[in-house]
């Protein structure tokens, strides 16, 4: 079943309601019929006992007694309620009958078809004098004096069936009205309940038309996570496009100089200087690789499909740095519950690796790396501290510039911290430089934290 989700839910709800109401009606009618039939049988049994108790035999062998079964139906001709008592050996004086039966007879099936049960009683249905269906209870009783009496008590089964049919009809009407009401109420509830989805669709259309930049309203808890993911994807795509435009412009600008140098070299008409060509080619290659790296990070940052176990990555980096710097003491402070970085493992290792390498270069012997959660559940903190000379407050801003080196006596290109800055900011994080507890430099990063898998 495809198409509208609202239509699908309404149709399925309607089918379920119809089946449930039909099943409910069938169960109610069946239960009522069974209970009523049991009551009808009990009533006839009680009337039969009263009839037996009221009939006796005189000394001459005639039936005596005036039964009063407490129901005027036994006095009305053709009512469908009859009783008849006769002696097995017959005779005019051996029969008594209810006024309602008059001179009519009750058609009884032979014993071969309906035999007596273990209580010497049999129950059967037959057509009555007035054309209605009768339920007859029949038994034989020893009346004394060697006389056996045949007792028959008939009840109007047609009347009973008609009452059940009328009840079923009324109940069907009530359940029909109830079912229609439930279906209508379900439809209203479904339509109202799905209004937030309509709002999402309208908001997406507004974003597509350029009238809005995000799904700004608050939605029910069931769809708010989906809305948050949509906003993340929309914002991430927008940032990727903006960053791509900027990087293409920066790359074009950075390539202008080496291209101009090569053009000038070629225009001189003299033999080309291989050293100059190689230098400019390496510069162009470095620029292209740098911007490709930034483009890859920009495309991945903010995505929801990346998860990196920070504790595992830090342990690996610490082992490597300890082998490269055996004279240094590197201590990792990791949380009891691992924190996942919402990004690629290579980017996280490059960030922390650059910081540890920088700390090992400038520190005297002790390095701390710590990972800790923040009050903002969407972010976490990474800090790297050393016991080196540190840098002044004025130098901290300069240290974050690309290619900036504060001490030319130390080997390196000066790109380490700037690469960290670019990567961290591409992931919408932050970086801060401060004085460490050991007197050296402390670099603190704020990075996005991946949500726990649901």
Per-residue pLDDT reduced to its tens digit, 259-298: 877 777 777 777 777 877 787 788 788 777 766 766 666 5
Same domain, 157 and 11: yes
Comparison of pLDDT for 301 and 428, the residue scoring more: 428
Say what angle helices 224-267 and 274-300 make with each other, to 10 degrees: 170
What angle (nearest 5°) sits at the alpha carbon of residue 144, between those of residues 138 and 148? 35
Same domain, 262 and 388: no
Task: Write out the residue range of the structural domain in which residue 24 sits.
Answer: 5-162
334 belongs to a structural domain: yes
Same domain, 294 and 350: no
Looking at the 3D structure of the chain, how many domains does it have? Answer: 3
Sign of the CA dihedral 108, 109, 110, 116?
A: negative
453 belongs to a structural domain: no
216 belongs to a structural domain: no
Same domain, 151 and 13: yes
- 414 pLDDT above the threshold of 50: no
Final residue of a structural domain among 141, 162, 183: 162
189 belongs to a structural domain: no
Q: Which of 90-94, 363-367, 439-443 has the lowest mean pLDDT?
A: 90-94
Q: Whose structure tokens read 């002696």?
A: 87
Q: What is the tens place of the pLDDT at every residue in 39-91? A: 999 999 999 999 999 888 887 778 888 888 888 999 999 899 999 998 887 66
The mean pLDDT value for 358-368 works out to 89
Question: In the chain, what's the furthest Cα-to-Cα distance?
Answer: 161
177 belongs to a structural domain: no
What's the confidence (pLDDT) of residue 297?
Answer: 63
Number of H helices, E strands in the chain: 9, 14
CA distances from 136 to 42, 255, 378 (A): 13, 112, 83
Final residue of a structural domain among 282, 300, 318: 300
Same domain, 13 and 143: yes
Note whether 152 and 106 are within 8 A (CB): yes
0.85 surpassed by pTM:
no
Same domain, 157 and 236: no
Final residue of a structural domain among 279, 300, 321: 300
Outline where 64-156 has alpha helix (H). Answer: none
- Strands (E) in 354-429, as ranges, are 366-373, 379-386
What's the confidence (pLDDT) of residue 247?
Answer: 66
Same domain, 287 and 328: no
173 belongs to a structural domain: no
Of these ranges, 152-156, 234-238, 387-391, the one predicted with the greatest mean pLDDT is 152-156
Q: What is the tens place of the pLDDT at every residue in 87-132? A: 887 665 668 889 999 888 889 999 899 999 988 899 999 999 888 9
404 belongs to a structural domain: yes
167 belongs to a structural domain: no
Pull the structure tokens for residue 35.
């209970």
Same domain, 279 and 372: no
Same domain, 292 and 327: no
Note whether 236 and 301 are within 8 A (CB): yes
What's the confidence (pLDDT) of residue 332?
Answer: 93
Same domain, 273 and 368: no
What's the confidence (pLDDT) of residue 93?
Answer: 60
Note whether 272 and 398 are within 8 A (CB): no
Same domain, 237 and 324: no
Q: Which of 332, 384, 392 is nearest to 361 (CA)?
A: 384
Note whether 429 and 342 are within 8 A (CB): no
Same domain, 266 and 339: no
């Amino acid at each position: 079943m495809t198409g509208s989700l609202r239509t699908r839910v309404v149709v399925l709800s309607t089918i379920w309601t119809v089946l449930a109401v039909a099943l409910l009606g069938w169960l109610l009618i069946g239960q009522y019929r069974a209970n009523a039939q049991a009551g009808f049988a009990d009533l006839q049994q009680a009337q039969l006992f009263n009839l037996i108790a009221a009939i006796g035999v005189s000394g001459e062998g005639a039936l005596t007694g005036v039964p009063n079964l407490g129901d005027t139906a036994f006095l009305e001709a053709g009512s469908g309620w009859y009783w008849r008592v006769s002696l097995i050996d017959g005779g005019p004086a051996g029969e008594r009958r209810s006024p309602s039966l008059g001179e009519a007879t009750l058609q009884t099936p032979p014993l071969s078809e309906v035999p007596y049960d273990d209580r010497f009683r049999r129950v059967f249905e037959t057509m009555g004098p007035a054309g209605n269906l009768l339920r007859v209870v029949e038994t034989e009783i020893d009346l004394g004096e060697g006389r056996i009496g045949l007792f028959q008590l008939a009840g109007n089964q047609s009347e009973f069936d008609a009452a059940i049919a009328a009840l079923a009809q009324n109940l069907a009407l009530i359940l029909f009205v109830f079912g229609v009401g439930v279906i209508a109420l379900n439809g209203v509830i479904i339509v109202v309940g799905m209004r937030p989805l309509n709002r999402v669709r309208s908001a997406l259309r507004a974003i597509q038309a350029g009238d809005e930049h995000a799904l700004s309203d608050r939605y029910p808890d069931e769809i708010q996570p989906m809305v948050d993911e949509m906003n993340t994807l929309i914002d991430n795509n927008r940032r990727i496009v903006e960053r791509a435009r900027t990087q293409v412009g920066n790359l074009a600008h950075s390539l202008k100089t080496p291209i101009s140098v090569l053009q000038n070299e070629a225009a001189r008409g003299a033999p080309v200087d291989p050293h100059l060509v190689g230098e400019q080619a390496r510069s162009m290659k470095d620029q292209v690789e740098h911007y490709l790296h930034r483009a890859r990070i920009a495309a991945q940052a903010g995505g929801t499909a990346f998860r990196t176990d920070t504790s595992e990555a830090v342990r690996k980096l610490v082992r490597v740095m300890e082998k490269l710097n055996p004279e240094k003491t590197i201590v990792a402070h990791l949380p009891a519950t691992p924190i996942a970085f919402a990004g690629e493992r290579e980017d996280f290792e490059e960030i922390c690796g650059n910081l540890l390498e920088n700390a090992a270069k400038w520190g005297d012997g002790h390095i701390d790396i710590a990972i800790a959660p923040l009050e903002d559940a969407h972010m976490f903190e990474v800090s790297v501290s050393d016991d080196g000379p540190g840098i002044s407050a004025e130098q901290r801003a300069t240290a974050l510039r690309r290619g900036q080196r504060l001490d030319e006596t130390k080997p390196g290109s000066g790109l380490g911290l700037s690469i960290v800055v670019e990567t961290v900011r591409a992931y919408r994080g932050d970086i801060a430089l401060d004085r460490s507890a050991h007197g050296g430099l402390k670099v603190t990063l704020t990075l996005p934290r991946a949500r726990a898998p649901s």
